[in-house]
Amino acid sequence: MLKKIVQIMFGFSVLFVSSLAYAQVPGAEAHAADLNKGMIALAACLAIAITAFGGALGQGKAATAALEGIARNPAAADKLFVPMILCVSFIESLVIFALLIAFQLVGKI
């Protein structure tokens, strides 16, 4: 019995909420434009925040692995240094690429 009541309440709520979705509101176009600008700004913020966080984690792990390798075998320092610098520069280039995308998104506001 309780399951039927919940199903009926859910059905009525979907019916009333969906009718509100199609309602015409004066000035809705301006509100939609502001909402789109806000979503673009949020996308730019998330793009740079997530990429900076991931890039920092990646660079930290790369440096940690290289320093552990050098600590275990100091003679391999010359062989580990160049690949570590390349990895860190590739990670940093991805972060800079995300920064350029964020700037392009901000330019659309």
The domain spans of the chain are: 48-109
Q: What class has domain 48-109?
A: mainly alpha
Residue 104 has phi, psi (to 5 degrees) of -65, -40
Entry pTM: 0.60
H helices present in the chain, as ranges: 2-21, 28-72, 77-107
- What pLDDT is attached to residue 32? 65
Q: What percent of the chain has pLDDT over 90?
A: 0
